Amino acid sequence: MGKLEHIQTLSKHIGRVWSVAWHPKGDALATCGEDKTIRIWAKEGKEWVNKVILTDGHKRTIRDISWSPCGNYLASASFDATVAIWDKKSGEFECSATLEGHENEVKSVAWSKSGHLLATCSRDKSVWIWEVAEDDEYECAAVLNAHTQDVKKITWHPHVDLLASASYDNTVKIFKEDPSDNDWICIATLSSHESTVWSLSFDKTGNRLATCSDDQTVKIWKQYLPNNSEGVPTTDGEASWKCICTLSGYHTRTVYDISWCHLTDSIATACGDDIIRIFKEDEGSDPNAPTFSLINSAERSHTQDVNSVKWNPKVPGLLASCSDDGDIKLWNFIE
Amino acid sequence: MELENSNPNIYNKVSERNITADEEDDSVVDEIDSREIFDLIRGINDPEHPLTLEELHVVEDSLIFVDNRNNIVKVLFTPTIPHCSMATLIGLSIRVKLLRSLPPRFKVSVEINPGTHVSENSVNKQLADKERVAAALENTHLIKVINQCITPLTMNRKRA
């Protein structure tokens, strides 16, 4: 049994905090919310303190934020239908570009591992892929209209340019660039959830994906390449993704976010019942039908819905969460 | 604008709450109950008619469920006709009214009384999606319409 130890509460935002994002070096945390600000927190001695406040980039709620893999850029997605890119070239964080094109609220933003691509998704049902050119220029490389409803979250594969998206249409879709004509195409639709898929997270290998939903379950999906030894059928030479595990009965309300730690393999979930839960795969479990156990459930982690959870990419066990209660909390998970 | 349901059934209002001696005693903990929730939302106006949701039987005391200990409030509402296009707006008005009135610890769900609307599943899903509700409430036009619904007519009449 593990223990989730509360380290510190960061209270500066006014109203709901929607999202938290660790800097790739693990030494800074960006947060955003209803108050239309982005705050950047870093450690001073033993305490995490608010170092920077970014205002005036957006006219409405900031829903999501993402650091570039190099750590020099921060992208923010807003209900005002735009995405802002911030950098520190002048010494201070400044908004250097605004990406427009979505018809309404932008729900999520994510940089690819290479840093050359940026993806955004919106209530307008589309996913956009932007190529990062020189001199802070961003060119739209694709508009993907595969989903039939509001797209909630996008995330890139940890190693290759493969994009996964989660939607109000209950599905997850996987996209990649077709090398023959450089067109982005949907190569897989993952259907099994019975309601909105709110978030998704790859494991460190990128061969497995965890998804969470309004149906109060978490699902684990595995990629099967063509000619796999398990005999899972594939089409058009593309990998197929199969749901290999469903974690049901643990969450009592909507699961809003999920984070699969690349250092410790622990899975954390953020739930509408105010609780942060930690799951881990059982030792010796069958790779094609794995079992996971709930190893921690921190009652009243927050006083309202937990909206986001993220594992620190450098410090094993360090977890950040944020909530409708306006707080950001830092936790240390000890196994 | 043409009315969708030009001749709705109008029902009698329930009697006012009887205030007991216990309720006036400040030392007694008075837990939030379904009647209290009902009193908060019964005066909401229908978007089409100069009538309250209570008078149209859109909300009823018996379709409100409160679990005070677990911070749960669930309201079922009955659209006046099964294809009412105002269903989402009515549900949103109930949500906003409760959001503003209740302590933030409460998880409020607002759903259509099962079997009373042709697209109850899609309306329910939309009303339960807090992200879409949050985005809707940042829409200045929509919030104005909702505020009009929430402001009690009786209060306006009295003022007039």
**pLDDT per residue as tens digits for the range A134-177:** 778 999 999 999 999 999 999 999 999 999 999 999 999 999 99
Set of chain A residues whose Cβ sits within 8 Å of the Cβ of B135: 61, 79, 104-105, 123
- Nearest chain A residue to B140 by CA distance is A60
The answer to the question of residue B147 being in a domain is: yes
Give the residue carrying structure tokens 């008005």. Answer: B93
Residue whose C-alpha is closest to residue A140's, from A151, A154, A152, A126: A126
Query: How many whole angstroms separate alpha carbon B19 and alpha carbon B24?
Result: 7
Domain of residue A327 covers: 3-334
CB contact under 8 A, B130 and A305: yes
A157 contacts A207 by C-beta, under 8 angstroms: no
Partners of B47 in beta bridges: none
Query: How many whole angstroms separate alpha carbon A307 and alpha carbon A322?
Result: 6
Q: Helix, strand or coil for residue B25?
A: coil
DSSP category for residue B61: G
Q: Helix, strand or coil for residue A129?
A: strand
Set of chain B residues whose Cβ sits within 8 Å of the Cβ of A107: 131
Query: How many whole angstroms separate alpha carbon A151 and alpha carbon A172?
Result: 9
pLDDT computed for residue B160 by the predictor: 40
CA A194 vs CA A167, A168, A200, B71: distances in Å = 11, 10, 15, 25
Task: Give the gap in angstroms from C-alpha A133 to the nearest C-alpha of chain B.
Answer: 32
Mean pLDDT of chain B: 89
pLDDT computed for residue A92 by the predictor: 93
A266 contacts A280 by C-beta, under 8 angstroms: yes
Task: Give the gap in angstroms from C-alpha A256 to the nearest C-alpha of chain B.
Answer: 10
CB of B131 within 8 Å of a chain A CB? The answer is yes
Set of chain B residues whose Cβ sits within 8 Å of the Cβ of A60: 138
Set of chain B residues whose Cβ sits within 8 Å of the Cβ of A304: 104-105
Q: Based on DSSP, count helices (H) and strands (E) in chain A, helices before strands.
A: 0, 28
Average pLDDT on B46-61 reads 94
Query: How many whole angstroms separate alpha carbon A267 and alpha carbon A295?
Result: 10
pLDDT band at B158 (very low <50, low <70, confident <90, very high): very low
Total of domains in chain B: 1
CB contact under 8 A, B104 and A325: yes
Tens of pLDDT, residues A72-129: 999 999 999 999 999 999 899 999 999 999 999 999 999 999 999 999 999 999 999 9
What CATH number corresponds to the domain at position B106? Answer: 3.30.300.130
Domain of residue B36 covers: 30-159
DSSP category for residue A217: -
DSSP category for residue A4: E
Answer yes or no: is pLDDT of A48 > 70: yes
CA A102 to chain centre: 20
Determine the residue among B67, B108, B122, B131 to mutate to test chain A binding: the one whose Cβ has the most chain A Cβ atoms within 10 Å.
B131
What CATH number corresponds to the domain at position A304? Answer: 2.130.10.10
pLDDT band at A6 (very low <50, low <70, confident <90, very high): very high
- Cβ-nearest to A61 among B104, B125, B134: B134
The answer to the question of residue B65 being in a domain is: yes
CB contact under 8 A, A34 and B134: yes
pLDDT computed for residue A173 by the predictor: 98
pLDDT computed for residue B159 by the predictor: 43
- Nearest chain B residue to A64 by CA distance is B131
Query: How many whole angstroms separate alpha carbon A113 and alpha carbon A141?
Result: 17
Task: Give the gap in angstroms from C-alpha A135 to the nearest C-alpha of chain B.
Answer: 33
E strands, B90-144, are 107-112
Query: How many whole angstroms separate alpha carbon A240 and alpha carbon A160?
Result: 16
Total of domains in chain A: 1
Mean pLDDT of chain A: 96
Structure tokens at B62: 């018996």
